[in-house]
Amino acid sequence: MSAVTLDHDHHGEHHPSGLWRWVTTTNHKDIGTLYLLFSLLMFFIGGSFAMVIRAELFKPGMQLVDPVVFNEMTTMHALIMIFGAIMPAFVGLANWMIPIMIGAPDMALPRMNNWSFWILPFAFTLLIGTIFMPGGGPAGGWTMYPPLMLQTGTAFPFVIFAVHMMGISSVMGAINIVVTILNLRAPKMTLLKMPLFVWSWFITAYLLIAVMPVLAGAVTMLLTDKYFGTSFFSAAGGGDPVMFQHIFWFFGHPEVYIMILPAFGIVSEIIPTFSRKPLFGYESMVYAVASIAFLSFIVWAHHMFTVGMPLAGELFFMFTTMLIAVPTGVKVFNWTSTMWKGSISFETPMLFAVAFLFLFTIGGFSGVMCAMVPADFQYQDSYFVVAHFHYVLVTGAAFAIMGSVYYWLPKWTGHMYNEKLGKLHFWCSTIFVNVLFFPQHFLGLAGMPRRIPDYPVQFTDLNMLSSIGGFLFGASQLIFLYVVISTIRGGDKAPAKPWEGAKGLEWHLPSPPPYHSWTTPPDKEVWEHPYRD
């Protein structure tokens, strides 16, 4: 990691070198790098499970794996992508960028920061290790519904323990972010003068603190139901399997907003830069993120419309779910207005941000469709839902992450990435991700359920198309891997501000920034919010 240079500061501190540096680091840049590289590895592991899924679904009939192994693949694909790829990537970005963007020397709690990261490799070794245990890994879906989940064998306690560890990591990271933002902003930087990326993570951190313990409770109840004779989810003992779903989704819905709000923040940084125009409606954008976060607590049962809820419940959750489209739409309108009458150039980060705008909006449309309860009785547990959430998570969250990597790689490494390869990665990804997921809308409408390894022959053509898209999309990510590694290792020297229209504190630091940056907080003149008069 020669790109991040040691700073010979005044106190003569010694930083360890080699592997031990990475184990003991409390530096937000190092920890950010660790999170990002970890998430890249998990992205490829989770992606390879998806390749198994798409390979089996290429043709009708069972060609490759036993149905239980297929269910393991779908379960693990989701668990790894959600908890190992998307969330750690956003935390890595938070670690790298939040202190720099607010003029702070580091996160407020650097040692806890180190622990937050290092829990993750242990948690995922445990989780992925279950595949090699007798009986194999968990196969009840990432949603872990009982009673099915209680039929898991030896893997069960390891999965629960891994989930607990991931949760602890997330909560500690979130606390760190809140404390850092509230206490370490540069003088005179009031909250409504912070960059939107910082705002989006500030709100996301509160969501994490609120809901990760709920997940912990839910999986602990699963554990006691299996091993300690409780019957939270068993009717015979006075419990209810549907209660698990309520508890899980009370966590689960804010969780999906945890996975998208930082993406909104990233897009709000990239689009103004490449439009050479200030973000339209800064305050509205802040209020929109806050409204989305608040509303995210009262919509959870839209993941459960078919469980047999009373009519009043179904109506309530339909209305609140429809309502959450309003602040989300406001954000899309504001991003579009930012581009309107701008002066737009199409470097790779902007390509990803624009693709996000289009394709996340399509995911939003299918989401509004799912909100309509009568129609959802057809969509629920079908490929229509699979298409919806992959649009918002892959072309939404994942594209935003990729865009942010291209955007900030020059800053982190001091090298420009290869723009031609970046564009190639972008176009391949965008085209193939649509070949992969768009047909799935039609599969769901035509009656194909989800989480099945085999299907009736009328679904063959669209599945084959989707699988081809999947293989090519997966292969395209190797371009990304190459670009990231080669940019870390070398490339054209990056200036402090490689993007003409960029504003924000990070562009006032050299590329790469010193190991300890903003040891003296910047003056107001340096950071004065460029969008405020």
The catalytic residues are 77, 106, 142, 169-170, 253, 255, 257, 268, 302-303, 328, 331, 450
Check residue 339 for interaction with another protein (CB under 8 A): yes
Best CA proximity match to 262, nearest among 157, 400, 132: 400
Among 314, 348, 434, 463, binds another protein (CB under 8 A): 314
Cα-Cα-Cα-Cα dihedral sign, residues 302, 306, 308, 311: positive
Instruction: Tell me how far, at minimum, the Cβ of 68 lies from another protein, in Å.
Output: 5
The reply to whether omega before 512 is within 30° of 0 (cis) is yes
In 10 A of CB 445, how many CB atoms? Answer: 14
Scan residues 229-258 and list those touching another protein (CB under 8 A): 234-236, 240-242
| Contact track, another protein, 59-78, x by CB under 8 A | -xxxxxxxxx--x-------
309-314: which pairs have CB atoms within 8 A and are 24 or more residues apart? 314/373
Best CA proximity match to 196, nearest among 335, 89, 63, 82: 335
Identify which of residues 24 and 460 has a Cβ nearer to another protein in the complex: 460
| Residue 442 near residue 36, CB atoms below 8 Å | no
Query: Which tokens is 41 given?
Result: 């590895």
Region from 159-167, 221-229, 337-345, 386-394 binding another protein, contact rule CB under 8 A: 337-345
DSSP secondary structure, 486-502, as one string: HHHH--SBP-S--STT-
Using CB under 8 A as the binding criterion, the count of chain residues that bind another protein stands at: 96
Region from 95-103, 150-158, 213-221, 295-303 binding another protein, contact rule CB under 8 A: 150-158
Check residue 131 for interaction with another protein (CB under 8 A): no
Scan residues 434-453 and list those touching another protein (CB under 8 A): 442, 445-447, 449-453
Identify which of residues 91 and 289 has a Cβ nearer to another protein in the complex: 289
Region from 98-106, 258-266, 311-319, 511-519 binding another protein, contact rule CB under 8 A: 311-319
Instruction: Tell me how far, at minimum, the Cβ of 135 lies from another protein, in Å.
Output: 3
Check residue 161 for interaction with another protein (CB under 8 A): no
304-312: which pairs have CB atoms within 8 A and are 24 or more residues apart? 304/242, 304/245, 304/246, 304/249, 305/373, 305/376, 305/377, 305/380, 306/376, 306/377, 306/380, 306/381, 307/242, 307/245, 308/242
Among 1, 326, 478, 526, binds another protein (CB under 8 A): 326
Identify which of residues 105 and 135 has a Cβ nearer to another protein in the complex: 135
Scan residues 512-531 and list those touching another protein (CB under 8 A): 531
Beta bridge partners of 382: 449
Scan residues 369-408 and list those touching another protein (CB under 8 A): 369, 372-375, 377-378, 380-382
Check residue 220 for interaction with another protein (CB under 8 A): no
Q: Tokens 């003149």 correspond to what residue?
A: 525
C-alpha span between 3 and 486 (Å, rounded): 12
C-alpha dist (Å) from residue 152 to 141, 160, 452: 11, 11, 18
Check residue 455 for interaction with another protein (CB under 8 A): yes
Identify which of residues 140 and 349 has a Cβ nearer to another protein in the complex: 140
| Residue 409 near residue 394, CB atoms below 8 Å | no
Q: Tokens 């999965």 correspond to what residue?
A: 159
Check residue 157 for interaction with another protein (CB under 8 A): no
Instruction: Tell me how far, at minimum, the Cβ of 1 lies from another protein, in Å.
Output: 35
Check residue 6 for interaction with another protein (CB under 8 A): no
Check residue 46 for interaction with another protein (CB under 8 A): no
Best CA proximity match to 210, nearest among 239, 251, 182: 251
Region from 26-34, 102-110, 333-341, 513-521 binding another protein, contact rule CB under 8 A: 333-341
Check residue 14 for interaction with another protein (CB under 8 A): no
Instruction: Tell me how far, at minimum, the Cβ of 353 lies from another protein, in Å.
Output: 11
Instruction: Tell me how far, at minimum, the Cβ of 388 lies from another protein, in Å.
Output: 12
Check residue 273 for interaction with another protein (CB under 8 A): no
Exposed (0-12), middle (13-18) or buried (19+): which is 76, by Cβ within 10 Å? buried
Identify which of residues 325 and 435 has a Cβ nearer to another protein in the complex: 325
Check residue 284 for interaction with another protein (CB under 8 A): yes
